[in-house]
Chain A
Amino acid sequence: MALETVAGGRAWIYSHHVGRGSAAGEGFSTPVGVIPAKDGVLYVANRGSDTNPNQRISKVTVNHEFITEFGKTGPTYGSTEEPHFAFLTSIAMDKDENIYAADEWKNLISVFDSEGSLVRTWGEQGDGEGQLNGPSGVSMDADGNLWVVNSLNSRVQKFSPEGKFLSGFGEKGSDPGQLDMPWGMTIDNNGDIFIADWNNHRVQKFDTGGNLLATFGYGGRGPGSLRHPTGVAVDGEGDVYVVDWMNERVVIYNQDGNPLTYLKGDAVDVSPWAMKSIEANPDMQRRRRQVYDLEDQQRPFRMPVACAFDQDANRLIVCDTQRNRLQIYEKDMNYQDPQFNL
């Protein structure tokens, strides 16, 4: 079933979703970050839970293949090994498909290769240049340098892949250009930086020198407004996708900051992984049949945290965090509305 959201001559067509709740393997544990790689591969950052330490990065495909997972914790699986991640917040990827993962509690950047082997870690807690204080968002620029936004001191910093500090900007506050507990970030094709300014209910766009270029959204519940935005992505045409966490939607703006529309989630289907869970539990299946508005209930995002846009596939991927799934939309830039009075 395809569901279409249309605005401004383009459409976002719900494709399908990937995932189910699972502490390992085919499924996710409160996913808070996603990065598309080539051939439909997705890397997914799982935040996990305090009672079941299943923080990890899953490597899957949009076609429901589970490839591997890494950065996992030890104790759940009978090991005394300390969990690698405490508060895994977001991930980025370089051109060699190395994955950079931020841990906002340990103030650590972990670099894994595409097979999941840990390559290196770096990071030092503090408020000085090059130090980390609650790193909550990461993004890779075209030159292969990693940008990191610190949630607790509102600093945005650029590092070499090895963790050498290169530049930075940002200060705490609510004035234009200031940040308050920022969370996710992304970098567009022009190299400009978008930050989800969580506690100021907006996304701010900066150049690499920290000059404010644009602001998207403001506090509220209406169209185009935001409540505690957590993630942001930009597509090849410059449309901006903001994960509007508390309003449980993804607000889409054009590059000038005008709101186009929003997505509320469209998961009316059941993913193949999810179907395995259902089919293995006949009572679950029978009970589902008794829910008269099952599709409507199952469909919406539940406090989503992150999104990413796969420009090669023209595909938006939304971390539907509380439902442990990725909702996937395809963008049609040349959308033609069907005849209205069919």
Chain B
Amino acid sequence: MANKEKLAQMAHLMRRAGFGASREELEERVAKGYEATVEELVNLPAKRPEDKAGPFAMVTRYHPSTLLPGGVPTLGQASWMYSMVNTDRPLEEKMALFWHHVFATGNSKVDNCDQLLEQLDMFRQYGLGNYRDMLVQLSKNPAMIFWLDNNENHRDAVNENWGRELLELFSMGVSNYTEVDVREASRAFTGWTITPKIPRLPYGRFPWRFEYKEEDHDEGEKTFLGYTGNFNGEDIIDIVVKEPATARFICRHLYNFFVADEVQVPAWTIEPARDEEALDMMMTAFEESGYEMTAVLSAMFNSDFFKNARFAKIKSPAEVVASTLRLSGSWDLPKPGIRDIGLQPGYMGQSILDPPSVEGWYTGREWINSGSLLARINFVADHVADTSLPGVQSIISDMKAAGVSSPEQLLEASLEHMGYLEVSDETRQQLLDHAKNGGDMDWGNEDDAGARVGEMLALVGATTEYQFG
């Protein structure tokens, strides 16, 4: 068996680069090695092998209404959550969540979950690729065009919404451009629109498609960030990606999402980064590779600052729900009631596919309030204490096989199965005091022993420390 430190390190990687992993998976990955696992996670085969059904086929088979949920976001949310839980390409799915945080697009306005699911597919396809290509795809993405009104951006009537957010929230960040730059960027994206779609009645939603309307494009000269020319949208993106501010902005987002909690985005112009040295290293990898996400992700996951950042960030609600369902194995097969798993992150403050605004969500400690904390704890407890669930049964079997006997061993094994969680001395003592109430484990009475394991897992899930990932 791999040693505990390596397993803990791998658990950290899989929490961040995915949605957690079972003990069995951790042991398999430790056997492969840390760097090899990073390589496997980051450099995926371009396409999923089609021999067996993946999460999309499974959820669509059992819940066909999740394919084109239209204006019913809960079905789209459920479909995505099912994918997060069951994906065999964890970083691809995690990057989709990352880009959804950064390029936040919401059903509250789009009112068309089909298009948001299509946007997610685009994030999956391009999310681990080149950032410039991603921005081009984003500029042509129908949900984004509608979300930020670029379909209302005309040659003779410029709408600056998309142009502004491209600079402010999707690339450079505020203070790195002028209002004139916003105007000029917006002019360059005139004519980037979507075709009229067949309306929702009577056969359900049909897709919007990107359309470039040359006759609606402003062909005039533009001056943007000091460059002058007859720019079109891709020219603007080419200029934007080369700006040092862009590398810093995207890498700071990556750091905040994957490494450790930062201050909120609006404070980035006044607050230094949590780890400037780490940020420099990530920016170098990003820029020297020509803005390849795989390069910066590989450098980040293999860095000491990442390896030393265990439990340095508070799990987002989507991470809490997906990792708990993955651990408990309660949604391997789609079943009735799937809408609930899509709604759960919303109860904790993160309604996926429906962020509060184009700014996305505030993260870190902003995830926690008295209501959301209770929702997180109850959700985790409901699952890990349910000894009928296959993932929990597997943990119980593992503990039995390992000869877990004393209260100390029960606590230690529970912390390990909950992600090699590190707890304070005070928390440890409280948990241990509870474990001691039951005395040594009596595996002769399997139901009682299982219940004690479930109870201890639930208590671990209720600790302050477990809110960190």
Contact residues of A with B, CB < 8 Å? 20-22, 27, 29-30, 32, 47-52, 86-87, 105, 180-181, 183, 198-199, 201, 219, 227-228, 230, 246, 270-271, 273-274, 276-278, 281, 283-284, 287-288, 290-292, 294, 297-298, 302-303, 305, 321-325
Contacts and interface: CB of A to CB of B under 8 A. Distances in A.
Contacts of B338: 50
A294 B195 CA distance: 11
B180 interface: no
A30 B64 contact: yes
Nearest to A270: B202
A287 B199 contact: yes
Contact of A50 (B52, B65, B195): B65
21 contacts: A21-B202, A21-B203, A32-B64, A49-B65, A50-B63, A50-B78, A51-B65, A105-B336, A201-B51, A274-B203, A277-B201, A284-B199, A291-B196, A291-B198, A294-B198, A302-B67, A302-B204, A303-B67, A305-B64, A321-B64, A324-B203
A201 B49 CA distance: 13
Interface size class of B (residues with CB under 8 A): 20 to 34
Given A87-B336, A305-B64, A51 B75 contact: yes
Contact of B336 (A52, A86, A246): A86
Contacts of A21: 201-204
Considering the complex of A and B, which 3 residue pairs feature the smallest CB-CB distances, nearest first? A49-B65, A20-B202, A277-B202
* Chain A contact residues: helix, strand, loop or mixed: loop
A278 B75 contact: no
A298 B63 contact: no
A303 B202 contact: no
Contacts of B50: 219, 227
A302 B52 CA distance: 21
B72 A51 contact: yes
Interface of B: 50-53, 57, 60-68, 72, 74-75, 78, 195-204, 206, 335-339
Contacts of B201: 20-21, 274, 277-278, 281, 284
B199 A283 contact: yes
Contacts of B203: 20-21, 274, 298, 323-325
Contacts of A48: 65
B198 A323 contact: no
Nearest to A280: B201
A90 B61 CA distance: 13
A51 B60 contact: no
A246 B54 CA distance: 12
Given A47-B64, A50-B65, A50-B336, A322 B204 contact: yes
Nearest to A220: B50
Nearest to B72: A51
Contacts of A219: 50-51
B204 A228 contact: no
A228 B57 contact: yes
Contacts of B197: 287, 291
B119 to A, nearest CB: 19
Contact of A298 (B72, B75, B196, B198): B198
B399 to A, nearest CB: 28
Contacts of A281: 199, 201
Contacts of A27: 202
A323 B204 contact: yes
Contacts of B202: 20-22, 27, 270-271, 273-274, 276-278, 324
A47 B62 CA distance: 9
A201 B57 CA distance: 13
A87 B338 CA distance: 12
Contacts of B64: 30, 32, 47, 303, 305, 321-322
Contact of B74 (A51, A86, A278, A288): A51
Contact of A288 (B199, B204, B336, B337): B199
Contact of A246 (B52, B57, B66): B57
Contacts of B199: 281, 283-284, 287-288
B334 to A, nearest CB: 9
B345 to A, nearest CB: 17
Residue among B61, B67, B195, B198 with max Cβ neighbours from chain A (10 Å) = B61
Contacts of A288: 198-199
B67 A322 contact: yes
Given A87-B62, A281-B201, A291-B195, A228 B68 contact: no
A60 to B, nearest CB: 15
Contacts of B65: 29-30, 47-51
B339 A51 contact: yes
Contacts of A274: 201-203
Residue among B72, B199, B203, B335 with max Cβ neighbours from chain A (10 Å) = B203
B212 to A, nearest CB: 15
A202 to B, nearest CB: 12
A150 to B, nearest CB: 14
A29 B201 CA distance: 13
A276 B201 CA distance: 10
Contacts of A228: 53, 57, 61
A299 B134 CA distance: 31
A224 B461 CA distance: 52
Contacts of B63: 49-50
Contacts of B57: 228, 246
B67 A50 contact: no
Contacts of A276: 202
A51 B343 CA distance: 12
A140 B195 CA distance: 47
Contact of B206 (A52, A198, A298): A298
Contacts of A32: 64
A271 B67 CA distance: 23
A285 B177 CA distance: 44
Given A51-B339, A287-B197, A288-B198, 17 more contacts: A49-B75, A50-B65, A50-B75, A50-B337, A50-B339, A51-B74, A87-B62, A105-B336, A198-B53, A199-B53, A246-B57, A284-B200, A302-B68, A305-B64, A322-B67, A323-B204, A324-B203
B59 to A, nearest CB: 11
B198 A297 contact: yes
A284 B336 CA distance: 33
A183 B204 CA distance: 25
A87 B61 CA distance: 11
Nearest to A104: B62
Given A20-B203, A181-B53, A322-B68, A290 B335 contact: no
Contacts of B336: 50, 86-87, 105
